[in-house]
């Protein structure tokens, strides 16, 4: 049963991250996703220190604010201080992440958070944190939280499907229609921040980027339409979690790390397969 919960948690993280990550890729903001995932660390540590627990929704929301804060900071550096965008991203997230790590090492005795957890989370402990309703065992709390978040993400994407589509594809045309592209941008960043914070427990602050970017990138290689890309993202996300779990057991290594590796293997597989296919087509065209 524990294995099931871990794979389920991994899949939930992979799917909610991947669906949002698909938009990050299409908006050429993959590295902003990386920045957000690093930048929420101080928020998370502060939230843990204050609440002494891992599942206070209110505090998690507060932590997610750090993600939004980092996107503002990146913009301030770029617009007010006139620093080129790649450098503003790099400066912002290394700084916020450094603050987070310092906080972790200062208070690691007090809160149940340590450096390993920052790096790759501890998805193996997910089944231990059980939610009770009176006497009834409802299953692990993180599953409920992550499941609820996934529900929110899917609802947001469904309701805002057209808004996200048009602002991602053609911001000029969107503005021409009078659509507020900035609002859509910040809604997306907010959702990414909150999802990253919720996933921190399971996969840590750095590996979460793999879940944000790799499955949707794999899907991107195969898709002609945004809907298809979303469906493939879900498939590759779940596959990564599943394969990663068994790889980790086999190698006796970090589960989340192995999930990231699995997503990488899937990506490479699709990439190479497509390359061979193209070569074959070329070859056939020449021989004909």
Site residues for another protein, 212-231, by CB under 8 A, read 212-214, 217, 220-221, 223-226, 228-229
Interacting residues with another protein between 67 and 106 (CB under 8 A)? 77, 80-84, 86-87, 89-91, 94-95, 97-99, 101-102, 105-106
Q: Which is nearer to another protein, 252 or 288 (CB)?
A: 252
Q: Which is nearer to another protein, 61 or 242 (CB)?
A: 242
Q: Which is nearer to another protein, 51 or 221 (CB)?
A: 221
Closest CA to 112 of 208, 47, 24: 47
Q: Residue 275 interacts with another protein (CB under 8 A)?
A: yes
Letter string b/e over residues 240-274, b meaning 16 or more CB atoms within 10 A of that residue's CB: bbbbbbebbeeeeebbbbbbbbbbebbbeebeeee
Q: Which is nearer to another protein, 57 or 180 (CB)?
A: 180
* Minimum distance from residue 2 beta carbon to another protein (Å): 18
Closest CA to 103 of 138, 141, 63: 63
Contact 79, 88 (CB under 8 A): no
* Minimum distance from residue 158 beta carbon to another protein (Å): 10
- φ/ψ (deg, to 5) at 273: -55, -45
* Minimum distance from residue 51 beta carbon to another protein (Å): 23
The strand pairing partners of 258, in sequence order, are none
**How many Å apart are CA 69 and CA 165, to the nearest integer?**
25
Collapsing DSSP to helix, strand or coil, 136 comes out as strand
How far is the CA of 39 from the CAs of 97, 150, 211, 278, in angstroms? Answer: 5, 22, 17, 40
Q: Residue 130 interacts with another protein (CB under 8 A)?
A: no
Candidates 57-65, 126-134, 168-176, 187-195 — which segment interacts with another protein by CB under 8 A?
168-176
* Minimum distance from residue 179 beta carbon to another protein (Å): 6
Kindly state the tokens that stand for 51.
């609440």
Q: How many residues bind another protein (CB under 8 A)?
A: 82
User: How would you class 223 by CB atoms within 10 Å of its CB: exposed for 0-12, middle for 13-18, buried for 19 or more?
Assistant: middle
Closest CA to 35 of 100, 81, 80, 82: 100
Interacting residues with another protein between 138 and 167 (CB under 8 A)? 159-160, 162-163, 165-166
Candidates 46-54, 63-71, 133-141, 259-267 — which segment interacts with another protein by CB under 8 A?
259-267
* Minimum distance from residue 24 beta carbon to another protein (Å): 8
Query: Mask 18-57, x = binds another protein (CB under 8 A)?
Result: -------xx-xxxx-xx-----------------------
Q: Residue 263 interacts with another protein (CB under 8 A)?
A: yes
Q: Residue 236 interacts with another protein (CB under 8 A)?
A: no
């Amino acid at each position: 049963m524990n294995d099931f919960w871990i794979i389920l948690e991994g899949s939930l993280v992979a799917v909610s991250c991947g669906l949002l990550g698909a938009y990050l890729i299409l908006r050429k903001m993959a590295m902003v996703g990386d920045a957000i995932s690093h930048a929420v660390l101080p928020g998370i540590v502060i939230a843990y220190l204050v609440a002494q627990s891992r599942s206070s929704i209110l505090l998690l929301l507060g932590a997610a604010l750090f993600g939004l804060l980092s996107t503002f900071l990146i913009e301030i550096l770029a617009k007010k201080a006139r620093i080129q965008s790649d450098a503003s991203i790099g400066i912002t997230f290394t700084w916020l992440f450094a603050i987070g790590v310092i906080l972790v090492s200062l208070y690691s005795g007090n809160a149940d958070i340590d450096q390993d957890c920052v790096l790759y989370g501890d998805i193996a402990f997910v089944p231990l944190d059980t939610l009770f309703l009176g006497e009834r065992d409802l299953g692990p709390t993180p599953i409920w939280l992550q499941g609820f978040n996934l529900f929110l993400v899917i609802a947001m994407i469904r309701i805002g499907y057209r808004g996200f589509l048009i602002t991602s594809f053609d911001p000029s045309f969107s503005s021409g229609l009078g659509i507020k592209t900035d609002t859509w941008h910040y809604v997306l960043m907010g959702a990414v921040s909150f999802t990253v914070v919720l996933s921190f427990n399971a996969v840590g602050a750095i590996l979460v980027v793999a879940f944000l970017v790799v499955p949707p990138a794999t899907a991107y290689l195969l898709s002609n339409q945004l809907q298809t890309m979303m469906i493939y993202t879900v498939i590759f996300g779940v596959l990564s979690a599943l394969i990663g779990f068994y790889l980790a057991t086999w190698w006796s290594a970090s589960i989340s790390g192995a999930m990231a590796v699995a997503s990488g293997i899937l990506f490479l597989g699709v990439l190479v397969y497509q390359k061979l296919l193209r070569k074959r087509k070329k070859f056939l065209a020449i021989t004909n």
